[in-house]
A and B are shown apart, each in its own frame.
Chain A
């Protein structure tokens, strides 16, 4: 069996748990991974959990009485339970497995949106959304003639709640917003946004792709209606994500995809949908990935989300201070007290792609571009930015490497 991390596991020497962090990206040049907002690295326990599944358990779930099928189903459902517990969900049926955040949001727009939104209805989004919380609504808006409005982003990179308050007067049906910006790092006041929406009877969808991996998030405390996140950004594998929704709401919604597993009965011309959560999980799911996700949840739990959030807060404080010491660097987004471990910046006179390329020569992995948030870059009048993003395995030495790397970039372009 795989080794499970013990509660109270510390962050000291944590890099050793992540095999990839030991690799060289060029001869003699070790990896410095600062791109966790795109996807996180995976600890050995996650890799082993999936390996173990394929070596010993592999069988389809929810069908078949043989031992492997029973073990496989049990592990799959146990992961669902641990994930539900991790986000504070009341019942595990509220956790629907999807491929990723993007698919979770598309599930809501296709199922709930198609059933409940009609001509002229207002959906409120924000100017800092990732494309995955924009395009599904563009598609539905074109089909149903919906109205989309956007909570404004202030020059400091925060949501302007006055503009939100004004929009709330226009009878919105849904407010869909990201909990934490993948570009600015801003942690939005989700509980307050949700409370304000409730007052006018609007439902809420939280894009938690960047928050659930990095800060403690409790769906009951937030009192949201839907929440979406991806395993791959929180130490788990790609290809698996979650839509959490309130049970009554999910029960009232029509299925999204049709096929096996999501039905109770099928006749030639009709079907009866299955109970939650299976109603929304058509076809053979990503079983190994769910089990790997479960292992990631155990790992994060053993360390504790409070510890992780505190560690990243210290890192971003340090990083912002150090980056400010490099002449020509301008970081976008709010001060460190309002943001998580994301520093997107521009360097005078050097395009982000060139920055990223030169940093790569020192093994430093950052992302350059618009980070799937083109409207936000337009708002700030930036064609692109370079983004360094941190996770529990990053250290102040990684930040130091970044700063040294930036000085090297400047030397090239002097």
Chain B
């Protein structure tokens, strides 16, 4: 339990650095995990060189999904859109640094699904986005 609710998770959940909305934005996508009611929207600003310059997330959900969104956005800022397209779920789980069961894994990976679906300009997100480029 102490592993799952590491200080960094609780801290990010209570005091997220990237919570908010960007208006205007270049990319925006939202999705939810209907099972638990986690709902997240991610807004991104991208410069002329396809680099992500700003990012923010809004919505609600459990500590794992919210902390994951916050850590993910910190990671993507300053990276190119292409790099994030290639990002694998393991990279995000490394940022979280926790072992998760199958149910909570969905919470943790929701932000990555959303950011990828947004970058790819897809109508819907899907689990295949977590493993590879589409």
Contact = CB atoms under 8 A, between A and B. Distances in A.
A412 B104 contact: no
Contacts of A361: 1
Given A368-B36, A384-B37, A353 B10 contact: no
In the complex, which range does the number of interface residues on chain B fall in?
A: 10 to 19
Interface in A322-356: 349-354
A383 B39 contact: yes
B5 A353 contact: no
A357 B104 contact: yes
B5 A384 contact: no
Given A413-B10, A413-B14, A354 B37 contact: no
A203 interface: no
A370 interface: yes
A358 B104 CA distance: 12
Interface string A373-401: 01001000001100000000000000000
B77 interface: no
Interface string B64-104: 10000000000000000000000000000000000000001
B134 interface: no
A358 B4 CA distance: 9
A358 B1 contact: yes
A216 interface: no
B37 A369 contact: yes
A353 B13 CA distance: 13
B36 A412 contact: no
A380 to B, nearest CB: 12
A369 B37 CA distance: 7
Contacts of A349: 14
Contacts of A358: 1, 5
A23 B124 CA distance: 43
Contacts of B104: 353, 357
B35 interface: yes
Given A384-B36, A384-B37, A353 B107 contact: yes
B61 to A, nearest CB: 6
Contact of A369 (B4, B5, B36): B36
Contacts of B63: 350-351, 354, 413
In the complex, which range does the number of interface residues on chain A fall in?
A: 10 to 19
Contacts of B61: 351, 353, 383
A354 B63 CA distance: 7
Contact of B62 (A354, A370, A374, A412): A354
A358 B1 CA distance: 7
Interface string B46-71: 00000000000000111110000000
A374 B37 CA distance: 9
A370 B39 CA distance: 13
A273 to B, nearest CB: 39
Nearest to A408: B1
A412 B5 contact: yes
A351 B67 CA distance: 12
Contacts of A353: 36, 38, 61-62, 64, 104, 107
B23 to A, nearest CB: 24
Contacts of B13: 413
Nearest to B14: A413
A194 B27 CA distance: 53
Most buried by B among A350, A358, A412, A413: A412
A357 B13 CA distance: 16
Contact of B64 (A354, A377, A383): A354
A370 B37 contact: yes
Nearest to B103: A353
Contacts of A369: 35-37
Contact of A412 (B10, B34, B39, B60): B10
B107 to A, nearest CB: 7
Nearest to B60: A383
A354 B62 CA distance: 6
A349 B66 CA distance: 12
21 contacts: A349-B14, A351-B36, A351-B38, A353-B64, A354-B63, A354-B64, A357-B1, A357-B104, A370-B37, A374-B34, A377-B37, A383-B37, A383-B39, A383-B60, A383-B61, A384-B37, A412-B5, A412-B10, A413-B10, A413-B14, A413-B63
- In order of increasing CB-CB distance, the 8 nearest A-B pairs are A383-B37, A351-B62, A361-B1, A353-B62, A384-B37, A354-B63, A354-B62, A353-B36
Given A353-B64, A354-B62, 7 more contacts: A351-B62, A351-B63, A354-B63, A369-B37, A383-B39, A383-B60, A413-B14
